[in-house]
Amino acid sequence: MRKVNQFFHYSAAVAGAILLLSGTASARDLTVVGWGGALQEQLRLNFFDPYSKAIGKPVLEDSWDGGIGLLRTKTANGDGGWDVVQVESEELELGCQESLFLKLDVAAIANPDDFLPGNVHECGIGAGSYNFVLGFDKKDGNVAPGGWADFFDLQKFPGKRALRQGPKGNLEIALMADGVAPADVYSLLATPEGVDRAFQKLDSIKADLVFWKTGSQPAQMMAAGDVAMSSSYHSGLVNAIRKDNLPFGIVWNQSLTTTDSWVILTTTPNTQEAYGLLKFMTNPDAQARLSSFQPIGVSVKSAVDKVDPETAPYLPTFPDNSKNVLTLNASFWIDHIDTLTERWTAWAGQ
């Protein structure tokens, strides 16, 4: 009850600030854009609807599948109808470079020192962190793998393997499996020798390798017995374990972490309301509550200790889960995605 009271006290404070800041009514209502699905349902319940109630104005929603091209289109000819958008790291970098997003006054949103590492950018603030982890089926009392080297060890850990289709993430996994420390992965992968080494490692399990495209597939493949191990978004495995009671294990060691961000489009007519929503979404009580329904990492330090103790071990921000991880390098993939995708496609088709 205390958390609820604190939350709505915070809501009222934000609402008051926004009413003072808003000089005139905008031409349309604030529109926030997310990934849709179960996550957006929880964002609505925990953020969008309470914020709408707090400011006494509608908050409209849309969803999208990502892509910098759509953001360029939305901002090409003035107001395109979107204000606040959830973006991935590559879109954050490109959109900021191309001035599609406002440069944020982070101090007007929250204490900059309260943000966890990787959750503050000149054009965005963290919307949640996700990890690509190693998932394994432990229903037969299988010995737990310790990292990606075990994923590639078909003698010690027999069975089919699954990886996400495409080079991003998989080349990093292959190098770590071959003994490269996370800190050295991208400097090596930027060389022809590093790329060759990654593909040679992938060759070693290619005959036992299948690929997934959607986040629900790794759990489905393991549940059906099609594969013994798979890379996976951590959230898909967590939901399979906690909600579906499936006998899966998660290896956080050497996982690949990435953070989505909230951005404000430069063409918004609702700057004050957009800032207000970002401020509202940094509320630590609301972030902690959201993580109980969708296991995404919180963005502010003050939320970490508020997370439900039964949920905390399943989040990327749990201390034991954030050791020896690799942060996906958006700048690297912006520069290399075309050439490495071309090579991946040729390799996968052989």
Assess whether 286 and 308 both reside in one domain. Answer: yes
Assess whether 246 and 140 both reside in one domain. Answer: yes
Domain CATH code at residue 191: 3.40.190.10
Alpha-carbon distances, residue 190 vs 137, 198, 248, 333 (angstroms): 34, 11, 34, 10
Q: What is the pLDDT of residue 143?
A: 85
Assess whether 9 and 108 both reside in one domain. Answer: yes
Q: Does residue 3 have a pLDDT over 70? A: no
Cα separation, 320 vs 337, whole angstroms: 31
Report, as an integer, the average pLDDT of 74-93: 97
**Bridge partners, 134 (sequence order):** 231, 251
Assess whether 101 and 140 both reside in one domain. Answer: no
Q: Does residue 324 have a pLDDT over 70? A: yes
Q: Mean pLDDT across the chain, nearest whole number?
A: 92
Assess whether 175 and 302 both reside in one domain. Answer: no
11: confidence class by pLDDT, cuts 50, 70, 90: very low
139: confidence class by pLDDT, cuts 50, 70, 90: confident
With 0-12 / 13-18 / 19 or more C-beta atoms within 10 angstroms meaning exposed / middle / buried, residue 8 is middle
Report, as an integer, the average pLDDT of 35-60: 96
Between 271-280 and 2-21, two packed helices, what is the crossing angle to 10 degrees?
Answer: 160
Q: What is the pLDDT of residue 38?
A: 87
Assess whether 291 and 269 both reside in one domain. Answer: yes
Q: Does residue 5 have a pLDDT over 50? A: no
Q: Identify the top-confidence range among 9-18, 140-149, 237-246.
A: 237-246
Structural domain for 153, as ranges: 131-257+322-348
The pTM of this model reads 0.86
26: confidence class by pLDDT, cuts 50, 70, 90: low
Q: Does residue 131 have a pLDDT over 80? A: yes
Assess whether 245 and 181 both reside in one domain. Answer: yes
Q: Does residue 303 have a pLDDT over 70? A: yes
Q: Which residue from 279, 263, 241 is spatially nearest to 124, judged by alpha carbons?
A: 263
Number of compact structural domains in the chain: 2
Q: Does residue 110 have a pLDDT over 90? A: yes
Assess whether 93 and 47 both reside in one domain. Answer: yes
Assess whether 110 and 174 both reside in one domain. Answer: no
Between 284-293 and 2-21, two packed helices, what is the crossing angle to 10 degrees?
Answer: 120
Assess whether 332 and 313 both reside in one domain. Answer: no
Q: What is the pLDDT of residue 13?
A: 47
